[in-house]
Amino acid sequence: MAQETNQTPGPMLCSTGCGFYGNPRTNGMCSVCYKEHLQRQQNSGRMSPMGTASGSNSPTSDSASVQRADATLNNCEGAAGSTSEKSRNVPVAALPVTQQMTEMSISREDKITSPKTEVSEPVVTQPSPSVSQPSSSQSEEKAPELPKPKKNRCFMCRKKVGLTGFDCRCGNLFCGLHRYSDKHNCPYDYKAEAAAKIRKENPVVVAEKIQRI
């Protein structure tokens, strides 16, 4: 079998165009197509009038053709296996080279990063206790400066208003009874504000004087 595999040429496709590999011993056809071809020949021989005598010898010829087809299949499988083993052996030989390259790159990265770690270690410093003392004293001084929340009370009757109080333009807060200006004697001049607003919105338009020549 080894001598036959060495003498076989490269793989070739089946002559019928089925997509499988053929063999020159089977007229360039694969095993399946070759069996079908033999069956067709046998059927045509049986249909002929002279096929009566050859009909008795047909089982032996069928078995011989099947054995030949199996032998060709084994040869093709052996050739395909040898090619696959060769293709597998190629990357296996290249693996040590890639491992050496990765080890060299890792060792270079370790050499580059090692001095950086040595320099960064003495830079770390701890905060001195003298710095924390003035910060605590300043926080203690700022604590009493927080303004107290104001209670919402009416400026006139000192009644608790809460969120329902009314802010007046004089700057004071009043309840629902004292919110009007005539109830709490509001000092704000609404007339002057209205007059100023009217002047801004309605400026006086005056035509330019005619210059005499």
Q: Binding site residues for Zn(2+), as ranges?
A: 14, 18, 30, 33, 154, 157, 168, 170, 175, 178, 184, 186
DSSP assigned state of 157: T
Beta strand ranges found along the chain (DSSP E) = 12-13, 21-22, 166-167, 173-174
Q: Pick from 70, 49, 59, 61: which is nearest to 1 by CA?
A: 70
Q: Which residues are annotated as a binding site?
A: 14, 18, 30, 33, 154, 157, 168, 170, 175, 178, 184, 186
Measure the CA–CA gap between 51 and 41, rounded to whole angstroms.
11
Contact indicator for 57, 30 with CB cutoff of 8 Å: no
Measure the CA–CA gap between 31 and 13, rounded to whole angstroms.
12
**167 SS3 class:** strand
Measure the CA–CA gap between 151 and 170, rounded to whole angstroms.
18
Measure the CA–CA gap between 165 and 152, rounded to whole angstroms.
7
DSSP output for 28-78 = TB-HHHHHHHHHHHHHHHHHSTTHHHHTTTHHHHHHHHHHHHHHHHHHHHH
**Residue 191: how many other CB atoms lie within 10 Å:** 7
